[in-house]
Amino acid sequence: MSVAPRAVLALAVVLAVVCGLGGLADAVESEPTEVVRIHGLTTNDIARLRQHHDFWGIDWRAGDAVFGLAPLQRAELRRAGFKLEIDPPRQAELNRWRALDHGRLLVGEPDTVPGFSCYRSVAKTHADLQ
């Protein structure tokens, strides 16, 4: 799986918390999304599903598309005749992400940029230059 979907999810949560949109961060984290593989899709199917669902990528070796879907979305796609199955490795990765204490991660170390402890704060940088 490419890093892009995970990075986008992480960036959305970080921006929501940093910008004071805690409700958005809670909504992202509390979504009952499961990561599923959808088998036997045509290129047109993939294009259509990408417009309406959380697209995670394509596993070209297996011939599957990977999506994050809520229960109602999964039921809707199954009724439409799509073959879905949970993607255990990606689901485990999503569960690990949900289990993290995101608030603690954003606090950071003293004299660093919150959420990015590898960067010194402006005040710390100025103090070090004195």
Mind listing the pLDDT tens digit for each residue in 26-38? 444 445 799 999 9
Q: Mean per-residue pLDDT for 43-54?
A: 94
* Tokens read off for 1: 């799986």
The rounded distance, in Å, linking the Cα atoms of 114 and 107 is 5
Mean pLDDT of the chain: 78
Mind listing the pLDDT tens digit for each residue in 76-91? 999 999 999 999 999 9
Report residue 113's pLDDT band, with 50, 70 and 90 as the boundaries: confident
Mind listing the pLDDT tens digit for each residue in 1-27? 455 555 544 554 444 444 444 444 444
| Alpha carbon distances (Å) from 110 to 66, 84, 130 | 40, 47, 19
